[in-house]
């Protein structure tokens, strides 16, 4: 399932009732998950983070913009943060199963809707920029609401990409774009010297020759009795929060000022937090973090960066998305088991591995063949093929459980080989015993995928029979089942090939080399014939 993140910024951080109504409008859209909502009264700005499938997130962002336009009047708005719109900026960020190009397309569609339906001028920025000079948000927002109000319609360089060529009287203008994951990071200094904060901001921001991928400004925070270096880190791989924290601390200390604390506004990736932990350990010349758990790393990063009110479960996007994914797992409980298997498969443990994956692919192909059979049995239109389908199903259904048992057989075979490799080899007798055990383990490790491949070929034959006469409305599922069984057989044979070269028994090696070749040949034949039937049915 594709998941996109969207982080609209609204020019309101003091009236909680207004922020709540905007959030309510966004989350009323089915499929939208609220990941965060942070308001800052000094900046008079709120950052809302939502995620979900692309269409739902697009609609949620539109509803938020629409509501903000009705509730926020920029003519009455004052705050530390630069702004040009009630909804100031709406970026889309790819999370999983979605490309940057698709995020650009989403941004473009949203920009058109806001311009057409809400009458708000829209400027496309970042990766979605239609003009090179609009890639940088700061350049788009130059002059803020008041300056833009005077220039739109008079200066061709300020012509919006969508919407009217005049500022919206109260809602201003909006920037819509697509970008890499941005971390909003602030460092608070224990002083009221705002000029110091501005000097440090200038020293570290990229455009003034500072650190790469850093945008920074200095602010006075009367409510906190301190000043702040407020930053957008537009690519934490180039400059991380840890690196910029250390640089700010050095510059402040040179003028006799200490860092009071820092804060993450919104969310950040787990990768970025672990990067910070590693960099802080290196700077403090501490021991390697190899083997350190995620919880420890997150806590270490939070402590060394003096992060204020940082809650990993709420602010680390992967941890937050676990709740989002949990809603899908509640709707489709069986996904929990699939997810557990995939996590184990992705781990650094040797089992489950390719053999287990082959068995799961085979069971999937069998199940799809069964599904088409079940959608054919009892249908009047297919009355004359009931016997053929039932006979194929009688063979196919028991094979599903047998195929899944190969999952465990593969793990046992691998573990047996590992145990054989641990046997002592100090004496000639021990070496001989170890060599014999390893040869037997290699043979067993070949026999297991051989059984998987043989079972896959047999199942494939029955799926082919169902494909020839089965329900044409579900025939594409036979095609997917055929591809799954083909992958199962090829994967099983791959596991045979990896073991055969190490076997010294030439008769065994010759026999199973021939069998492996035959499995591949038969799998290709069955795939070609099945897909030919499927394509003919679809075309007809």
Could you give the residue numbers annotated as active site? Answer: 81, 410
Tallying the residues shown for the chain, one arrives at: 540
Residue with tokens 């939208």: 32
User: Which residue, chain included where needed, has tokens 């003034």?
Assistant: 208
Could you give the CA distance from residue 282 to residue 276 in angstroms, rounded to a whole number?
10
- For the record, the structure tokens of 62 come out as 């539109």
Strands 45-52 and 174-178, by their bridges, are unpaired
Phi then psi for residue 256, to 5 deg, are 75, 25
With residue 467 as reference, give the H or E element that holds it: helix 428-469
On whether the CB atoms of residues 289 and 297 are closer than 8 A, the answer is yes
Q: Sheet containing 214-221: which strands, arranged edge to edge?
A: 214-221, 226-233, 183-189, 259-265
Do the Cβ atoms of 337 and 43 come closer than 8 Å?
Answer: no
Rounded CA separation 132/62 (Å)? 25
Helix, strand, coil shares of the chain, percent, nearest 5, are 60, 15, 25
Q: Give the DSSP per-residue string, 43-86.
A: TTEEEEEEEESHHHHHHHHHHHHHHHHHH--GGG---SS--SBS
Distance (Å, whole) CA 50 – CA 266? 10
What does the block give as tokens for 219? 């602010």
How does DSSP assign 345-394, residue by residue? Answer: HHSSSSSS-HHHHHHHHHHHHHHHHHHHHHTTTT-GGGGGGHHHHHHHHH
Contact 186, 217 (CB under 8 A): no
Structure tokens at 354: 């390719």
Secondary structure class of 313 (helix, strand, coil): helix
- Cis ω for the linkage preceding 352 (within 30 of 0): yes
Burial 288-311 (b: 16+ CB within 10 A, else e): ebeeeeeeebbebbbebbbbeebe
């Amino acid at each position: 399932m594709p998941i996109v993140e969207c982080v609209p910024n609204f020019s309101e951080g003091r009236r909680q009732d207004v922020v709540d109504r905007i959030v309510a409008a966004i989350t009323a859209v089915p499929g939208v998950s609220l990941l965060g909502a942070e308001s800052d009264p000094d900046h008079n700005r709120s950052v809302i983070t939502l995620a979900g499938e692309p269409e739902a997130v697009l609609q949620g962002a539109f509803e938020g913009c629409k509501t903000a336009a009705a509730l926020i009047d920029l003519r009455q708005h004052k705050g530390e943060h630069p702004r040009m719109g009630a909804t100031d900026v709406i970026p889309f960020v790819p999370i999983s199963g979605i490309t940057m190009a698709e995020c650009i397309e989403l941004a473009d569609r949203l920009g058109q809707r806001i311009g057409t339906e809400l009458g708000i001028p829209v400027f496309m920025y970042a990766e979605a920029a239609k003009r090179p000079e609009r890639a940088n948000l700061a350049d788009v927002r130059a002059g803020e609401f008041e300056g833009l109000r005077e220039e739109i319609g008079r200066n061709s360089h300020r012509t919006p990409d969508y919407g009217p060529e005049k500022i919206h009287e109260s809602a201003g203008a909006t920037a819509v774009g697509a970008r890499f994951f941005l971390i909003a990071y602030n460092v608070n200094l224990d002083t009221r010297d705002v000029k110091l904060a501005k000097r440090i901001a200038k020293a570290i921001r990229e455009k003034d020759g500072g650190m790469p991928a850093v945008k920074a400004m200095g602010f006075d925070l009367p409510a906190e009795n301190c000043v702040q270096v407020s930053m957008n880190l537009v690519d934490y791989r180039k400059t991380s929060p840890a690196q910029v924290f250390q640089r700010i601390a050095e510059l402040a200390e040179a003028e006799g000022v200490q860092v009071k604390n820092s804060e993450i506004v919104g969310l950040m990736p787990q990768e970025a937090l672990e990067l910070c932990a590693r960099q802080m350990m290196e700077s403090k010349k501490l021991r390697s973090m190899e083997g350190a758990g995620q919880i420890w790393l997150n806590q270490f990063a939070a402590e060394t960066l003096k992060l204020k009110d940082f809650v990993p479960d709420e602010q680390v996007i992967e941890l937050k998305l676990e709740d989002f994914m949990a809603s899908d797992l509640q709707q489709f409980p069986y996904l929990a088991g699939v997810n557990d298997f995939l996590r184990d498969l992705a781990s650094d443990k040797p089992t489950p591995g390719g053999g287990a994956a082959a068995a799961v692919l085979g069971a999937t192909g069998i199940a799809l063949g069964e599904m088409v059979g079940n959608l054919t049995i009892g249908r009047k239109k297919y009355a004359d093929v009931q016997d053929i389908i039932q006979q194929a199903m009688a063979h196919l259904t028991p094979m599903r459980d047998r195929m899944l048992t190969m999952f465990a057989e593969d793990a046992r075979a691998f573990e047996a080989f590992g145990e054989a490799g641990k046997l002592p080899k100090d004496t000639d007798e021990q070496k001989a015993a170890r060599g014999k055990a390893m040869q037997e383990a290699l043979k067993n490790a070949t026999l297991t995928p051989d059984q998987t491949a043989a079972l896959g070929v047999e199942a494939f034959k029955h799926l082919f029979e169902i494909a020839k006469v089965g329900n044409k409305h579900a025939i594409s599922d036979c095609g997917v089942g055929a591809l799954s069984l083909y992958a199962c057989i090829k994967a099983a044979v791959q596991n045979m090939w990896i073991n055969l070269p190490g076997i010294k028994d030439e008769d065994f090696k010759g026999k199973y080399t021939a069998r492996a070749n035959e499995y591949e040949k038969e799998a290709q034949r069955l795939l070609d014939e099945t897909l030919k039937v499927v394509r003919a049915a679809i075309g007809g």
